[in-house]
Structure 1
Amino acid sequence: LMSSGVYQRGDEDEGIYGFLVEDIKREIRRSSRLVILQRTLSHSNKFSTILSQHSAVMFYLLGHQAYSAALFFFRCTICNNKDKFQQEMLRMGIHIPERDASWELEENAYGELLQVYQRCDALKCISHKGRKYSTQEGSSLQRNTPGEILHTLASQISKHQFMSVVVRKDGVFKAALELLRQADFDPHHSLKVTFPDDEEQTNDMNNGNLQRFLRLLIQDLQNSVLFEGPENKKNLALNSQAVQEDFYFDAGCIIALSLIHGGPPLGFFSEALYKCLFNFPRDSHLTVEDMGESLCAAKIRDAQSVKDLKKAVSSASDYLEVAGCLRQINSLSDKQPLVKDIVNFHLVTRMQLPLKRFRDGLNTLGLFEHIQMFPEIFSDLFCYPPAKISAHTMANLFFVQFSDNEEKKKKEIITEGFWRQYLHDCEEGRCATSLEDILIFATSKDIVPAMGFNPNPSVSFVHSLSSVGTVPERQPCYNKIVLPVATTYEIFKKHLEYAVCQYTLMQTI
């Protein structure tokens, strides 16, 4: 009844929201004389008023919308018409305030639009300063190879300051621990390695000794009490003495120093250990197989009935109680959550301190941080043993340097053919030396280092008129082998085998 005759003749501050008291009283008197007639027939024409069963709700909603949007923004939500819509709303008694919309009157309205979002939401943030660090300047970060990253880290090592490493009969691992426990130990210094028990010494012994030390050190570390599991799939082992002596930090530091000083790739980490350290791959899950030889977890996993599952849980109750995984078994659906908790406890929870100290050691010279940026490109160095070297790989590894003189170059091309033939004979076992022996002879390394060679290995030639003679020479500081020019393959093979075998014999004394 109110919607049929009351108009807002007043201002905002007059009456009740613009409805004058006199108009309201007049409408009350008029409406009191009206009679409502109920008809059972329904009309198909347009209604000028809202249906009775929805009138209260619709009136409230339109009134709330009008009060919120006000005069400047209140319009039809379907056709977006403003003028006609507001006239009709006024006719129906909807009050429209003459002001700005309510959301425009809020303090600091739309202030968030003036703020620049300064947080990294990438799945893997590689910023050293965290996700909230933001700057308008800086260098772009490129995805490099592991060798390039290790070379960058190696630039921190001083070539003029040395730390002495003395390897005695008690082994390379103890020599490494003595180095790390020195009060003045500085990872930014170069390493000078000596083997006092070796009777033979050569001019390049420091470089050869360093590579030999790093190679033996990684082998000893792999077979130490700090790791367990099958070969090439090692997990960290929990050892109370190692925790007390902080050997896990030492092991991480040893690995970092080895990789950055040009040592061999590891190749013995399990994928589970790599995931625990670097959370890669992110979408993979730890399984019972990652635990190694764990009979209790395997029995629980393989249980096919509730009876078998209860029996397996009962037999491992002591371990499960310590792990905090002991629970009542009601159905086979309880098996998978239990197995998941056991695996998580065995590989992660109980190894929290060793893993943390191992990561701290790996971060020597910043290695861990760089691996964490690109864990996918480092996984091969840690988890997979290097492929066996072949004659084709060796031939491509060594860059051949020919003379500028055409006459000399012709002879050198023939000798280069002898070199390739000799590599194939070594691969097929028709020589007294192996491909690894030749690589050690030229570079003092039996495999390609994790950081690659610097400089790249090369082959050069010396002619018979030179005073050097006909015996091949090695220049390991430059990763170079100098081959004498020979007229026949038999002479070439004889001289090269003699030189390599002599050096190999010296290394075994």
Structure 2
Amino acid sequence: MVKCCLSIFHGPRVESSFSLMNEVIDQRSGNMNVPTFNAIQTVNSGRWTEHYEEHKGEAETCGKTAKAGHGDTGGPGKEEKMRSGSESITNCVLKSQEGVFQLGSVEEGIDAGGPRREFLTLLMSFLQSRPIFEGPPQSRYLVYNAAAIREDEYVMAGKMIAVSIVHGGPGPHFLSRDLVNHIAGQPGFCAHVTDVTDDEIGRALSEIELAHSLKSLRDVLLKHSSMLQTAGCFRRVSSVEEKHTVVAEYLTWYTIGRNHSVIERFKDGLASLHFLDALCQHPSVLAPVLCHTDKRLTSVEVERLFLPQLSPAGSNRRTTETVALSFWADYLMDCEEQGPVSLEELFMFITGLKTEPPAGMTPHPCVTFSQETIYPMANTCANTITLPLLGTYTSFKANMDCN
């Protein structure tokens, strides 16, 4: 596997991140089950920690709200503060210099990746609840919002997503498949009436779908002629089966056509770091990063991902570490079976992410051991968890859950 580093901070010009993405994707033959962007990882980001600590509380609140599926993020004051914080982060990490975007500053020793990944995770949750999106929580599409237009929030949202994916954070995993296909220039449209948030329009489309005869279909089309004329899909039908075409055409206009201008602004943001170019050239690899997936972490995946750092074979310490490693494997299975701690929560505790990111994990996650503590310790910058060396699984699990 090609492993390149995009040295953004040392020198005025760098090789195109887009060409590096192509190199990795081509060598992996479009395999969606392995990280895509290891070639463009970078770990120097000086100002992430400052803004992360300042706005972490608001971001966590917004993230919880988004998870619950609510649009209100906690009142005008908190909304304005979080919006301002998001702008500060975006302005901080997206600095164009002769066509090259920079991440952070040249300061050293401030953030080796952990706070950045955790902030990007919270930022993606925050975006999901923004008023620029509508639709089901797991399949959201862009809508026109006058205030967001004034604030240029569509471009900002696109930049946030591009930066998160390219620099080791998560993808949004909530965009509509139809929206992503449209952005990537791919065919296919599968929106459903349930995606419509306007109750009146939803009822009208349902009436059209439920028409059982040609006469009833014509009557219901005439009844809702004004609505259909707005979308340019009101016409005379000659068979009852045409109802599906009428509904599909209206849904296409409702989710894509009427929002064309803001979708273009969103694409302008996604073009940061050449992510949009890569998406259009490799949609089968990158589209799943943007859309919802039912796939969740498994105990086998986590156990395989975290490499144990064991003492020399035959030593007494190696024996106790092997016992702790077996406890670790059992604990992962308990987490997968919906115990007090989920695998996603455990992964977040160790890495600042809820799942393995598209760009892969750098440095590689590992498991270490310590006799100096009875509780687990995590280093999110090093993607490392230190396990306590305890005598029984009962005490091991209790201390893991407690922490």
Q: TM-score, normalised by structure 2?
A: 0.72
In 2 relative to 1, CA 274–140 (structure 1 residues): closer, same or farther, beyond 3 Å? closer
Structure 2 residue 329 is matched with structure 1 residue 423: no
Residue in structure 1 matched with residue 127 of structure 2 by the alignment: 221
Q: What is the number of residues matched between the two proteins?
A: 345
- Look up the match of 2:258: 350
- Identify which range, 338-347 or 254-263, moves more after superposition: 338-347
Q: 1:386 to 1:217 in 2, by over 3 A?
A: farther
Residue 14 of structure 1: aligned partner: none
Distance in 1, matches of 2:397 and 2:192, equals: 53
* Paired letter, 1:412: E
Equivalent position amino acid for 2:119 in 1? F
1:189 maps to which residue?
103
Bigger share in helix: 2
- Which of these residues, 211, 220, 223, is aligned with residue 315 of structure 1? 223
| Aligned partner (choices 137, 140, 159) of residue 44 of structure 2 | 159
Give aligned-pair identity as a percent.
Answer: 25
The one of the two structures with greater contact order (alpha-carbon pairs below 8 A, sep at least 6) is 2
Listed one character per residue, the Cα deviations across residues 151-198 of structure 1 (whole Å, up to 9, x for unaligned) are 33435xx72654653427525444112444579845412389xxxxxx
**Pairwise CA distance, 1:291:** 5.2
Question: After superposition, what is the alpha-carbon deviation per residue over 1:248-294, rounded to whole angstroms, capped at 9, x for unaligned?
Answer: 211111111222232223222222112211133x3x34555485353
CA distance in 1, matches of 2:89, 2:181: 30
The alignment status of 1:150 with 2:53, answered yes or no, reads no
- For the Cα contact (< 8 Å) 2:47–2:92, is it kept in 1? no
Deviations 1:102-123 (A, max 9, x none): xxxxxxxxxxxxxxxxxxxxxx
Residue 409, structure 1, aligned to residue 315, structure 2: no
Q: What corresponds to 2:306 in structure 1?
A: 398
258 and 173 in structure 1: CA distance in 2 versus 1, 3 angstrom threshold:
farther
Conserved 8 A contact 1:455-1:478: yes
Aligned with 2:276 (options 368, 374, 378): 368
Listed as ranges, the matches of 1:124-273 within 5 Å are 141-142=26-27, 143-145=29-31, 148-155=35-42, 159=44, 162=47, 165=51, 166-167=54-55, 169=58, 170=78, 172-180=82-90, 185-186=95-96, 187-190=101-104, 207-273=113-179
Checking the alignment, whether the CA contact within 8 Å between 2:36 and 2:358 is kept in structure 1 is: no
> What letter is aligned with 1:246?
D
Normalised TM-score (structure 1): 0.58
CA distance in 2, matches of 1:208, 1:140: 26
Q: Deviations over 1:61-110 (max 9, x none)?
A: xxxxxxxxxxxxxxxxxxxxxxxxxxxxxxxxxxxxxxxxxxxxxxxxxx
> Any idea what SS the aligned residue of 1:477 has?
coil
Match of 1:481, as an amino acid?
I
Corresponding position: 1:276 with 2:205:
no
Distance 1:429 1:384, change over 3 A: closer
Contiguous gaps of at least 5 residues in structure 2: 1-17, 59-77
Structural RMSD (CA) = 3.6
User: Could you tell me how far 1:478 is from its partner in structure 2?
Assistant: 1.4
How much does 1:149 deviate? Answer: 3.5
Paired amino acid for 2:354: D
**Could you say what secondary structure the match of 1:351 adopts?**
helix
**Shift in CA distance, 448/336, structure 1 to aligned 2, threshold 3 Å:** closer
2:212 to 300, 304, 323: 304
Report what 2:389 is aligned to.
485
Q: Are the counterparts in 1 of residues 138 and 173 from structure 2 also a CA contact under 8 Å?
A: yes
How many angstroms apart in 1 are the aligned matches of 2:368 and 2:229? 68
Tell me, yes or no, if the aligned pair for 1:288 and 1:298 is still in contact at 8 Å: no
Q: Which runs of 5+ in 1 are unaligned?
A: 1-127, 130-137, 193-202, 502-509
Larger Rg: 1
Alpha-carbon distance in structure 1 between the residues aligned to 2:241 and 2:223: 19
CA contact (8 A) 2:44 2:112 kept: no
Partner SS, residue 418 of structure 1: helix
Amino acid at match of 1:413: T
